[in-house]
Chain A
Amino acid sequence: MKQRSVWEWIADQLRSRSMWMLHYCTGCGAIELPPSMTARFDMERFGINPMATPRQADIFLITGYLSTKTLRRVIYTYEQMPDPKYVIGFGSCTINGGIYYDSYATINRLDLYIPVDLYIAGCMPRPEAIFEAFTTLMEMIRKGEANGWKRYKENYEWYKKNQLRSLGEVYVHDEFHE
């Protein structure tokens, strides 16, 4: 692990205390997000807000299973986000396929396609588990260990090879106008 400069250390302290989440709910795990945001388990007190566009978001939550059709768009959205960015795999489906492990249309392991910083096991994880994950992510950022975005840039060809092998092409077709 390279030693961080002072500015990077300050920046990481700031980033850990104000994380903005991309409100992109991919699978059925997204149902656990509204309770985390509302009054009972308040997410805003940690500085975490939902944001509408990927251009302003830091955290990308992959909630639940990912079909191949969604994976193309997830890769495209991930590349639209500015650095530094963190991905959290949410639910067992991102770890080993979960209850859809033998489906032809979903992927089994998210780590092969985009770099993941943290996984949350469970089907679905309750809001308490979500908060434990966020606090762990904040600790990782403060220690300088959440480097998924650097890994993506360094191992770009390996990730692309995996994506092409599973998806055939990462190109998103414009079905309405072709």
Chain B
Amino acid sequence: MVALKVLAVLSTGFFFGLTLEGIGRKVTARVQRRYGPPWYQNFIDLFKTLTKHPITHGWIFDFGVLMALGGVMATLTFVPLGNLVAFPNLDNIFVILYLFAVGALGMAMGMVGSGNPNASVGVARALTQMLGYELPYLVVLSGVMFHYKTSSVSAIMNAQGDGWNLFKMPVGAIVAFISLLGMLGKKPFDTPIAPAEIASGPMVELSGKYMGLLMLMHTFSIFVEISLFVDIFLGGGNYLVFLLKFTIVWIMAVLISAILPRFRIEQVVKFYWKVPLSLAFLQVFFVLMGWVF
């Protein structure tokens, strides 16, 4: 029974995530007044990369990619997708956020193990950006957890029956959305990838199936991140309503990223530690005072 649910969660992540990425490319293309690729383009890209003949730089390169994909898939199984929860009562927010770090660490380790300085620069930037966006996000989440006196995602989701957290804690929801843009790695926060500056950053030496597995990991990670936002601030709901809300949040993120240019890395950190952090503390102050709508 649990195995079936886990399989359902993973397949949703796979099919829905790749489809939405393709739809995202189409939306970006329409914003730029052109036609875009068909919506199934990302599936073709993924399978094409899996058929090429790759090169490798050593065992740590392989192991890093495997650890990244394994870690992110493990994280995905714990996230509740609306009312499809594979492990009820065990979906603690901190566990999900830190299990996510296994994937990031595995990827960072494998990429630096390729020996290319571009990869090391990209990874250093990615870690610094993590320092930027995690702090306001976690402060807002601690406010939410303190208000509902629980740290389980499905409990917070079910407690929003009388109104979404988007309306109860609007300042916090905005801060979480800005942090979400940083987590997704979309413009204006795609400094770690930066194709023109550092030659794709960490992914510079990836070819063939390594690239495919890493693209899969990227799809799963954005699925986890947006699902957390939808569950905690937009009230989850049943499975289909959840997917609808997911699509809306994703299209908003794509629209923002289609028009903005890229920040420099110290601008990212300075930005996150000025405006969103103060707004996050303001939200926490409201929660302490009980001024929740």
Contacts and interface: CB of A to CB of B under 8 A. Distances in A.
Interface of A: 7, 11, 14-15, 17-18, 38-40, 42, 44-47, 51-53, 55-56, 58, 82-84
B128 to A, nearest CB: 21
7 closest Cβ pairs, A-B complex: A42-B34, A39-B34, A11-B51, A55-B207, A82-B207, A18-B44, A83-B53
B44 A55 contact: no
Contact of A83 (B49, B52, B204): B52
Given A44-B29, A53-B200, A18 B48 contact: yes
Given A18-B48, A47-B41, A55 B34 contact: no
20 contacts: A11-B48, A14-B47, A14-B48, A14-B51, A17-B48, A18-B44, A39-B33, A42-B35, A44-B36, A45-B34, A45-B36, A47-B45, A51-B200, A52-B199, A53-B204, A53-B205, A55-B204, A55-B207, A56-B211, A82-B53
**Which of A11, A14, A39, A51 has the most chain B CB atoms inside 10 A of its CB?**
A14
Contacts of A18: 41, 44-45, 48
B37 A55 contact: no
B240 interface: no
A18 B37 CA distance: 10
Contacts of A51: 200
Given A44-B36, A53-B200, A55-B205, A14 B53 contact: no
A40 B204 CA distance: 30
A152 to B, nearest CB: 13
Interface residues of B, number: 31
A108 B30 CA distance: 42
A82 B212 CA distance: 14
Interface string B13-54: 000000000000100010011111110010011011101111
A5 to B, nearest CB: 12
B240 to A, nearest CB: 30
Contacts of B48: 11, 14-15, 17-18
B25 A44 contact: yes
B55 interface: yes
A57 B34 CA distance: 24
A55 B41 CA distance: 20
Contacts of B44: 14, 17-18, 47
Contacts of B203: 53, 56
